[in-house]
Structure 1
Amino acid sequence: MEVFDYLRTLLQFTIGLITILNPIAAAAIMVSLLTPPVSKRELVSISKKTTLTILTASLLSTFLGDLIFKLFDINIHSIKVIGGIILLLFSINMIKGKIFEASHTPEEHEEAKEKDDISIIPLGIPILFGPGTFTTLVIFKTSTHNWIDLFILITAIFISSVVVFLVFKNAVLLDKFLGITGVKITTRIMGLIVGAIASQFIVSGVKSLWDMY
């Protein structure tokens, strides 16, 4: 029975991370920032750097994120509430199909066009790894109770990173296959999942704060 519980937790963590990362929408943004024709070698290079960026940022957030809040004596339940609100705002933009607004600002998009290497900024941060991802990881970390749970979360981070790499590596093909309409539909579906996760965070946080006071 415990094995199924661990698998369910892994699935929840992985789906949650992949959804908030939204690699398909990020891949569409990447294609729009690159000057055609885009070579396979260029795609692989960008994919590796971007994946390494979010993997490093995710691991650092997992191990150090909650320490920052503890330093300021911020209650974890308060983090759940504000984190849920942040994710809810993200989900609303995603449901509306506003890909850029859900990932980064138009100003950042225009600035990125002038940069030679877009792998780390803005693709890695803040398009893929933004406040929503950071908040989700911190809350996931606080829900771990032992080293097995922590190992499951780290595994979910690695799986999510691999998914990002594969999507980015095949970004041009996905862009042609899905088109802007397909990307927006996928983003809207992911927005619903993010909204559901956000609601759980908010309700759980408010309930715990209510019980405390």
Structure 2
Amino acid sequence: MLKTILFDTISLITILNPIAAAAIMVSLVKYSDIPSVSKTTSLTVLIASVITMIAGGWVLKIFGINLPSIKAIGGVVLLIIALNMVQGKEMAPTNATKDEHEAAQEKDNIAVIPLAIPILFGPGVITTIIVLSEKSKKLIDKGALSISIVISVFIVYIILKNATYISKLLGINGLKIVTRLMGLIIGAISFLFLIGGIKALWLMS
């Protein structure tokens, strides 16, 4: 169980990429609003993750999608995200749009959109949670995934709450390096999903 929790947590936290989100938050939120925004953002990510874990498999069954298929396409999605991160395309703390800056006037709004969704909780996280949930057939594995989600969101909260300090400590170059390293990890995870999905589909054919 500990091994499962460790793998799931590492998978989720790297794909969530809270350090990049922290850098973006600093450019959009007033210093005095960071604690409350961090709390709202983290809570939103937690709720969205739990809903995905519970309802994701049900949605797949409605559309007749099997686990190998979602693992294969999920691997492709994660690989694209990983390549973008390694190339530095995902790390853009100063690239907030005009609309996002206007939304920042309402801290509750920016905490949910765009910080929680889609900056933190995007397609990669959705895919990962669905794949991890669907392969967790035993109750103990479902429990391990639930624990991993809580741990990951707690880490996200801690990082966001200390966003200003982390951004100053790492600097732009440091943030880019961390993002690229996370991209490499996500790339490795994507291949596990992709190869596992293709292998299962091959055996089913």
Q: How many residues align?
A: 200
Residues 91, 179 of structure 2: 8 Å contact kept: no
Quick one: distance in 2 between partners of 1:88 and 1:109? 26
| Secondary structure of 1:187's aligned partner | helix
Quick one: distance in 2 between partners of 1:114 and 1:82? 35
1:43 aligned partner: 34
| Secondary structure of 1:161's aligned partner | helix
Over 4 Å off, 4+ runs: none
* CA drift at 1:34: 2.4
Counterpart selection for 2:24 from 10, 29, 43: 29
The one-letter amino acid of 1:151's match is: G
Matched, 1:95 2:86: yes
Counterpart selection for 1:11 from 6, 29, 35: 6
Mapping for residues 101-180 of structure 1, pairs under 5 Å: 109-115=97-103, 116-117=106-107, 118-180=110-172
Matched, 1:80 2:71: yes
The one-letter amino acid of 1:113's match is: H
Identity %: 48
| Secondary structure of 1:153's aligned partner | helix
Quick one: distance in 2 between partners of 1:124 and 1:131? 12
* CA drift at 1:69: 1.1
Quick one: distance in 2 between partners of 1:49 and 1:10? 25
The one-letter amino acid of 2:67's match is: I
Residues 57, 134 of structure 2: 8 Å contact kept: yes
1:54 aligned partner: 45
Quick one: distance in 2 between partners of 1:184 and 1:100? 6
The one-letter amino acid of 1:27's match is: A
In structure 1, runs of 5+ residues without a counterpart are 1-5
Compute the TM-score of the two structures, normalised by the length of structure 1: 0.91
Between 1:113-122 and 1:51-60, the stretch displaced more is: 113-122
Quick one: distance in 1 between partners of 2:60 and 2:141? 21
Counterpart selection for 1:63 from 39, 44, 54: 54
| Secondary structure of 2:102's aligned partner | coil
1:202 aligned partner: 194
Quick one: distance in 2 between partners of 1:70 and 1:162? 31
Compute the TM-score of the two structures, normalised by the length of structure 2: 0.94
